[in-house]
Chain A
Amino acid sequence: MSSAQHSHSTYIGRGVSVSIANLTRRFGDRAVLRELSLSVGPGEFVAVLGPSGCGKSTLLRLIAGLDEPDAGRVAIDDNPWPIAYVFQDPCLMPWRTVLQNVALPLELTGVPRAARHRAAARLLATVGLADAAERFPGQLSGGMRMRVSLARALITEPRLLLLDEPFAALDALTRQHLDNHLQDLFLEHRMTVLFVTHSISEAVFLADRVIVMSGAGGSLPADRRIELDRPRRDGVQTTVEFAREAGNLSRLLTEGSHTAL
């Protein structure tokens, strides 16, 4: 709970680098991750793409320290705590107002009430929900709830942001809107982002690099750099370059699942 982390600068903090070496995680007999190695540079936006059950979420949980690996290690430089984690479900507390939900991380880390409410109000403004501060999650749409969840994750000015299929349950339009929004936040603050998704176009739209995990979390996931200029805007999906990147990833995904079978 260092006070520097909660300074009221608009700059949320520079990203940290993450290196993962020979990470193995078994559930019973099944190795969900097998000797996975991966490194993510500071301020890099990495999408982790793969079908359900390939160990994407397990990878994020291991990085966040919510789970222990059977072998291997996760090294994050500097002190990244608190790491921000956005779940697939917005998982807001229905008994708290939107403002109180967003302020929760600061509350748990001992920031005084007035300061954390100020910070929460500011974050809500950046996700376009300033008017909803005193409403309850039950009164919001799915997209709005997800934005509240995003604001809650960002309130600690995280240097590492982990997102586990955050927009998967939303309709296509809302999803595109939030993808745009997430990109803006990333470009403004340049934290390191790991974004788990099973949508190829979402991965191409958002990421600097895409890790393709297919089959049973093999040791050498395919790794592609997305060479598209930022900021990427709506309509980029229809360009030839976008289609080429998406096609490559699609091929990697199918190849991977063939070898796994």
Chain B
Amino acid sequence: MKTLRLSAITPPLVSFMAIALGLEIGLAAAEVPTYLLPRPSAVWLALADNWPELLRATSQTALAAFLGLSLSALLGGFTAIVLSSHTWIRRAFYPYAVFFQTVPVVAIAPMLVIWFGYGIRAITAAAFIVSVFPIIANTLSGLLSTDPALRDLFRIYRASPLATLFKLRIPSALPYFLTGLRIASGLAVIGAIVGEFVADTYQGGGGIGTAVEVAIKEQKTDKVFAAVTMASILGLAFFALVNLASYVSMRRWQLAETKE
């Protein structure tokens, strides 16, 4: 793997420090009260004070988001394969896949509670619903854009549809699937948090969504921001995990690019 060079991490680090410092000074100078918009130092203190609780909440959210994302990868990939099998199937069923893209998860979250009950199952379902469409859409376009010459080659050797699927179309679609997964990874975290707003049982303290809700009720804005910070760190971690997975599975394809 490419080692993280100083030139790669310095700019975002410097910009982050500059923005935090600017906010710190600006908010203090303007005397903005903490309950309206906490200074970075206050968020940092809230993070430190509530660290064990936030970490536990984050791990709960991470579990639901991970389950939802895995479900999306499995079902989304499978759905894309089915949709790619025939034009008619695609025309008949693709609109239902688009449904997952357009449905506001907040609106149907209460329904999820009715269907799955309170707790991790409904939260996982929310993460799944928001993250499945990018996987279906990307994988489908990958499955449909196989190199025509390679398809001809498979025809010449009279490869069965199944052999063509497993030896040609699925491997060709892998980069597209991974792009979909990358988009879905952030969405799954968002879906899980939205799910927690509605369906969390507070068992074991609840997830990040619950932590945000509780902190708002207590009017602890700094704690809200601390929880939100954890949420974005979690999203980044998911993104990095998917990037690592795609690096490992694709590294051999890209040798030409890295060499030149």
- Residues on A lying within 8 angstroms of B by beta carbon are 61, 64-66, 81-83, 85, 87, 89, 91, 93-95, 104-105, 107-109, 136-139, 156
Contact = CB atoms under 8 A, between A and B. Distances in A.
Interface in B100-130: none
Given A89-B147, A95-B252, A108-B158, 12 more contacts: A61-B152, A82-B157, A82-B158, A83-B156, A91-B150, A94-B253, A108-B159, A108-B167, A109-B158, A136-B252, A138-B253, A139-B255
16 contacts: A64-B152, A65-B156, A66-B152, A66-B156, A85-B152, A85-B153, A91-B150, A91-B153, A93-B168, A94-B252, A94-B253, A95-B252, A108-B154, A108-B167, A138-B257, A139-B259
Given A108-B157, A138-B252, A91 B147 contact: yes
A46 B252 CA distance: 39
A29 B147 CA distance: 27
A253 B123 CA distance: 71
B156 A82 contact: yes
A161 B189 CA distance: 55
Tell me which of B157, B159, B254 has the highest count of chain A C-beta atoms within 10 A of its own C-beta. B157
A61 B163 CA distance: 22
Contact of B171 (A89, A93, A139): A93
A87 B153 CA distance: 9
Interface in B217-254: 252-254
A105 B163 CA distance: 12
Interface residues of B, number: 23
Main secondary structure of the interface of B (DSSP, over half): helix
Given A82-B157, A85-B156, A108-B159, A95 B149 contact: no
A109 B168 CA distance: 15
Contacts of A107: 167
B152 A136 contact: no
A57 B70 CA distance: 45
B256 interface: yes
B37 to A, nearest CB: 50
A136 B155 contact: no
Q: Across chains A and B, which 9 residue pairs bring their CB atoms closest together, nearest first?
A: A138-B256, A91-B149, A108-B157, A138-B255, A94-B253, A87-B149, A108-B159, A139-B255, A136-B252
A224 B152 CA distance: 31
A105 B150 CA distance: 12
A93 B150 contact: yes
A2 to B, nearest CB: 14
B152 A87 contact: yes
Nearest to A105: B157
A139 B171 CA distance: 19
B155 A66 contact: yes
B174 interface: yes
Nearest to B249: A95
Contacts of A138: 252-257
A104 B203 CA distance: 54
A63 to B, nearest CB: 11
Nearest to A137: B256
A199 B238 CA distance: 54
A81 B168 CA distance: 21
Given A105-B157, A108-B154, A89 B149 contact: yes
Nearest to A81: B158
A65 B147 CA distance: 18
A90 to B, nearest CB: 9
B156 A64 contact: yes
Contacts of A85: 152-153, 156
Contacts of A81: 158
Interface in B146-178: 147, 149-150, 152-159, 163, 167-168, 171, 174
A133 to B, nearest CB: 14
Interface in B186-231: none
Tell me which of B152, B171, B174 has the highest count of chain A C-beta atoms within 10 A of its own C-beta. B152
A95 B171 contact: yes
A172 to B, nearest CB: 22
A95 B251 CA distance: 9
Contacts of B147: 89, 91
Contact of A136 (B153, B163, B253): B253
A22 to B, nearest CB: 24
B256 A95 contact: no
